[in-house]
Amino acid sequence: MTLNTLWFILVAVLFTGFFFLEGFDYGVGMLLPFMARKDNERRVVINTIGPVWDGNEVWMITAGGALFASFPNVYATLFSGFYLALTLMLVALILRGVAFEFRNKSESKVWRSLWDWAIFSGSLVPALLWGVTVGNLLRGFAIGPDMNYYGGLLPLLNPYAILGGLVFVSLFMMHGANFLTRKTTGVILERVQRMAFPAWIAATVVTLAFVVWTYFATDIFSGLKGLLPAVMAAVSLLTTGWLIRINKTGWAFITGSLTIVFATAMVFAGLYPRILISSLDPAFNLTIINAASSPYTLKVISIVAAVFVPIVLIYQIWTYWIFRKRVETTSEKLVY
């Protein structure tokens, strides 16, 4: 295995971890206004992700950093071509982070409602835009021979990519609902259990439509490398629905997580050895060869990753272990 392939896999693993962890994080944020009606209920929902949401976002930063270090041409093309969309995403994420901190600074109902909706929108917009981005990665966009994107924002907001955004939103809401069934009690748990199956139905319908469109619009399923993880994602998704129906919430969360993991694996496996697809000419594709850093750079960052990635993993596992219990509420206080 070459270092180019190794770093392609590592970037894929980092984005997989990000979508898995931030997926239920975004899902909880999107469900907040609907699963919690009173202020103390909303505090419970927020506290389910309170200790971990910022750690989850570290995966996005790490994945972006790894992409910049290993495939700088991809980083430059992607982040410049999607500049407006990424700016909007960052604004939404900043607003979301501020909302977590500012919500309890006042007892005013209007004040808290404002920041609750900020958490909702700050979760919805990034989920949608990540799906739009992935949709364009699968379909390809107008990359020229100089590795620059030509077209602006509107061509990126095509129907196929928007459907990809809806896939991310629906899967993350299902993922968030499954997470809340493991972290809440009482009336919140009852509401979440009632809506988990409808959320699964919505995710399944939208995902099925996207997979069919992907089959006809892209070459991602050509050969087993993209098809095999797609089949595994489908099996995991169908199993999740069955487990929700029989109220096996722990297993439903696991299989829902596997759905996201296998779907992300499908994207990267289907792209390999390409990273960005040019819709103008296949000769303009950015691959693990023409977009990579020098062999010496890849060697150095491999050593750095071998040292620090395990440390980050250990810390995050420890965090989830410490805050593993359900969040309960009384009229006076929250209890872990």
Place of tokens 């410049």: 80
Return the pLDDT at 111.
93
Return the pLDDT at 330.
53
SS3 195: helix
Q: How far is CA 131 from CA 85, 169, 192, 201, 267, in A?
A: 11, 8, 24, 18, 12
Residue 256 corresponds to which tokens in the numbers above?
Answer: 């829902």
Mark 188-198 as b/e (b = at least 16 C-beta within 10 Å): bbebbbebbbe
Q: β-pairing, 334-335 with 328-329?
A: antiparallel
Return the pLDDT at 331.
44
Return the pLDDT at 332.
39
Q: Where are the domains of the chain?
A: 3-335
**CA dihedral angle for residue 127, residue 172, residue 263, residue 159, rounded to 10 degrees:** -50
Q: What letter would DSSP give residue 141?
A: B
* Contact status, residue 140 vs residue 158, Cβ threshold 8 Å: no
What DSSP line would sit under 167-188, residue for residue? Answer: HHHHHHHHHHHHHHHHH--HHH
* Contact status, residue 285 vs residue 143, Cβ threshold 8 Å: yes
Return the pLDDT at 336.
35
* Contact status, residue 7 vs residue 299, Cβ threshold 8 Å: no
Identify any residues that bridge with 141 across adjacent strands, giving them in sequence order: 278
Return the pLDDT at 222.
84
SS3 69: helix
Spell out the per-residue pLDDT of the chain, length 336, in tens: 699 999 999 999 999 999 999 999 999 999 999 998 888 899 999 999 988 998 899 899 999 999 999 999 999 999 888 888 899 999 999 999 999 989 988 889 999 999 999 999 999 999 999 999 999 999 999 999 999 998 888 889 999 999 999 999 999 999 999 999 999 999 999 999 999 999 999 999 999 999 999 999 999 998 778 899 999 999 999 999 999 999 999 999 999 999 999 999 999 999 999 999 999 999 999 999 999 999 999 999 999 999 988 888 898 899 889 988 888 765 434 433
Q: How many CB atoms lie within 10 A of CB 75?
A: 18
Return the pLDDT at 212.
95
> How far is it, in rounded angstroms, from Cα 274 to Cα 296?
21
End-to-end CA distance of the chain: 46
> How far is it, in rounded angstroms, from Cα 181 to Cα 109?
27
Encoded amino acid at 143, one letter: I
